[in-house]
Amino acid sequence: MVHDPLLTPFQLKHITLKNRIMSTAHEPAYSDGGMPKERYRLYHREKARGGMALTMTAGSAVVSADSPQAFGNLHAYDDAIVPWLKALVEDCHEHDCKVMIQLTHLGRRTGWNKAHWLPVLSASPVREAAHRAFPKEAEDWDIERIIADYAAAAQRMQAAGLDGIEFEAYGHLMDSFWSPATNRRSDIWGGSLDNRLRFSWAVLDAVREAVGPGFIVGLRLVADEAMEHGLSREEGVEIARRLADSGKVDFLNLIRGHIDTDAALTGVIPIQGMPSAPHLDFAGEVRGVTGLPMFHAARIPDVATARHAIASGKLDMVGMTRAHIADPHITAKVAAGREAHIRPCVGATYCLDRIYEGGGALCIHNAATGREAEIPHVIPRAEISRRVVVVGAGPAGLEAARVAGERGHQVVLLEAAARPGGQVGLITLHPRRREMVGIVDWRLAEIERLGVELRCNVLAEVDDVRALAPDFVVIATGGLPQEPEAAAGLARSSWDVISGELAPQGRVIVYEDGAGHAGLMAAEMAARGGAEVELVTPERSLAPDVGGMNHVPYMRAFHELGVRVTINTRLASATRAGNGIAVRFKSDFAPGWSDERQVDLLVADHGTTANDALYHALKPMSRNLGAVDYAALIGSGEVFPSRQPGGAFVLYRIGDAVAARNIHAGIYDATRFGIRY
Ligand SMILES: Cc1cc2nc3c(=O)[nH]c(=O)nc-3n(C[C@H](O)[C@H](O)[C@H](O)COP(=O)(O)O)c2cc1C
Ligand code: SF4
């Protein structure tokens, strides 16, 4: 057997990490009242089951009450957390997965109008753009109490049986003292590097006194803010060197960049279409300078790159964080020689964008993540094998076929187009979003393994379905672009632009009323093709269902290409005017207001209309008449009521064939129905 560097153990102080794969700190916002309860525990337990050596729990568990949650952060300042963490640790230890936790004071990276409404503070009163709070300058008594809070939190973590802790020192309070961009002080906490490090030493000394020299303590630190007036590479590396020389820390976890704006955050956590492993070499350099064990994560989504990171000696532990949100069983699959079966992280960053919108982290194409209590990551076989026909091989239909295949059913998947993929095929025509193809390709490989019969170029009609004598029929026929009524038949759809069927020229309005990616993609692609584009939306912000991280490359392109954006403006009418179109807008706010543009082309995105003719045609023949018992679906019991006992099959529809939604919704539909028979 060939030696795999990823699977070699690593000795960190007194603990043996059984391989080199870890998940770095990330707050999935599954906490309940600041506590890591069942959902949190099961989420980490699944990663432990999947074979990783170390899970860094929490993302920025907060040490003080004046560091309120920014996105569901755990309350490390509360004694009540100890038993919850203990249970989580025990579950992970059962699978020989070590557990640590990230602790922090968020400093200015949170809001004042939350929790106890305590003022936000930082080294100096410099506002952070992303969270918008204007912080006060930390006073002597603040610094004293926060140092004590760090020590008390560390002690709680030790009491909970954690294998170690790391302090977050990028974009939070600790490093706000380090960076010239955020530390403008002239007292003993500012000025020279010695002074700027004083707070960190005080924290480390207090923590060491509280937990003793044996406990594992590390730092996730920025060693180069890569911005004007920020912490320079020289000073950052010098900080890392001093930390190593002090003997007070056991590992470093390297960060490069800054996180005070959405755009900057994508430099630290790149999304799809951005470079992979951009800071890996730098991590290797800092490892060389310090000699400390080095952890690092930044878009190392695939096993080959992870293996290179370890084999080349750049890292001791490789973080594959989103990769494990997509597939918590990566290590087990590598160890079993089943690397090709890993569900790929496609970098969509739906997971992270959701937590900033107040939701929990969900993977765009793994419905089980964060829902471990209701959906198993490994689909069990059903007791009875059925005949299942799935119509439509977009992401929802492919997932329905995969799940049915895993259940041991005999599955036929019918697709009208020449190739499977549905709307994902369209998305991947956008150069930055090509990786989305992984959603389709992984499922195609899985259904082939499972013996699903895929038939393309079949525009299924009732007789085609009936001829297969199915027990279950799943309609996943998707939708077609819906034109806003006011466009009066004069608008082309965003799909026409994305597909390349239309090459917009001249003056173009893209009316974005779908809240998602499609309108933005169309506007960008039209502008790249040379059109003069104005994107108009009735929303009060741009495409609100596209999260902050995904917003970044669109806005970058819009600024570079000169796409104008007009918000708060609703389409009123469109009429032909010569060779062009006169587009009139109205306001939801000021009834008499109107505005007009003469354009060459009007493109509209207004979601999709369900492609549901086959569903309605099959409905009268089905046993459940298409009905679904939602109470049973979200709880337990028979999901498909028997409304016509003599009916030939059970029928249900999923994804956009029901109504316009997103990829996750379609895949979640497919999985949760599929595991019920
Ligand atoms: C949902 C989510 C929440 C995160 N929260 C934190 C956090 O609180 N603290 C932190 O240091 N990093 C956080 N991260 C960043 C990850 O630790 C990691 O650096 C990042 O995802 C890049 O690694 P990857 O490409 O392997 O995913 C978060 C990431 C995700 C996806
Ligand atoms: S949502 Fe996208 S980035 Fe996040 S884990 Fe899933 S595939 Fe990866």
pLDDT in the model for residue 674: 98
Ligand 2, atom 7, residue with closest C-alpha: 345
For the CA of 364, the closest atom of ligand 2 is 1
Q: How far is the CA of 289 from the centre of ligand 2 (A)?
A: 33
For ligand 1, whether the C-beta of 320 sits within 6 Å is yes
CA 253 / ligand 1 centre spacing (Å): 12
Q: What pLDDT is recorded for position 438?
A: 98
Ligand 1 contact, 352 CB (< 6 A): yes
Which of 306, 591, 647 shows the shortest CA–CA distance to 466? 647
Determine the atom of ligand 2 nearest the C-alpha atom of 344: 7
197 CA to middle of ligand 1, Å? 25
Mean pLDDT of 389-398: 98
Among the atoms of ligand 1, which is closest to the Cα of residue 351? Answer: 1
CA of 312 to the centre of ligand 2 (A): 26
479 close to 660: Cβ distance less than 8 angstroms: yes
Report how far ligand 1's centroid is from the alpha carbon of 230 (Å): 22
For residue 27, the CA-to-ligand 1 centroid distance in Å is 7
Neighbour count for residue 481 (Cβ, 10 Å):
19
321, 325, 349, 355, best to mutate for ligand 1 pocket (most atoms within 8 Å of CB): 321
Confidence of residue 2 (pLDDT cuts 50, 70, 90): low
- Going from the Cα of 341 to the center of ligand 2, the distance in angstroms, rounded, reads 16
Q: What is the mean pLDDT of residues 262-291?
A: 98
Q: Is 269 in the pocket of ligand 1 (CB under 6 A)?
A: yes
Nearest CA residue ID for atom 2, ligand 2: 348
DSSP string for residues in 97-140: -EEEEEEE--TTSS-SSSTT-PPPEESSS---TTT---PEEPPH
- Per-residue confidence band for 357, with pLDDT thresholds at 50, 70 and 90: confident
pLDDT tens digits for range 436-491: 999 999 999 999 999 999 999 999 999 999 999 999 999 999 999 999 999 999 99
CB 154 within 8 A of CB 210: yes
Q: Does residue 317 have its Cβ closer than 6 Å to ligand 1?
A: no
Establish whether residue 421 lines the binding site of ligand 1, counting it when its CB lies within 6 angstroms of any ligand atom. no
In the predicted structure, residue 21 carries a pLDDT above the cut 60: yes
Does pLDDT of 1 surpass 60?
Answer: no
Distances (CA, A) of 566 to 3, 157, 187, 624, 625: 57, 49, 47, 47, 45
Does the C-beta of 364 come closer than 6 Å to ligand 2? yes
Rounded Cα gap, residues 303 and 217, in angstroms:
27
| φ, ψ for residue 252, nearest 5 deg | -120, 150
pLDDT tens digits, one per residue of 131-188: 999 999 999 999 999 999 999 999 999 999 999 999 999 999 999 999 999 999 999 9
Q: Rounded to the nearest whole angstrom, what is the distance from the C-alpha of residue 667 to the centroid of ligand 2?
A: 13
Q: Which of 75, 269, 324 to mutate to test the pocket of ligand 1 (most atoms within 8 A of CB)?
A: 269
Chain mean pLDDT for the chain: 97
Task: For ligand 1, say whether the CB of 24 is within 6 Å of any of its atoms.
Answer: yes
Q: What are phi and psi of 189, to 5 degrees?
A: -100, 0
- pLDDT tens readout for residues 526-554: 999 999 999 999 999 999 999 999 999 99
Which residue owns the Cα nearest ligand 2 atom 6? 363
Q: Tell me what the mean pLDDT of segment 357-382 comes to.
A: 97
Burial label, 659 (beta-carbon count in 10 A; 0-12, 13-18, 19+): middle
232 three-state secondary structure: coil
CA of 266 to the centre of ligand 1 (A): 11
Atom of ligand 2 nearest to the CA of 347: 3
CA-362 nearest atom, ligand 2: 1
CB atoms within 10 A of CB 535: 27
Rounded to the nearest angstrom, the distance between the alpha carbon of 612 and the centre of ligand 1 is: 40
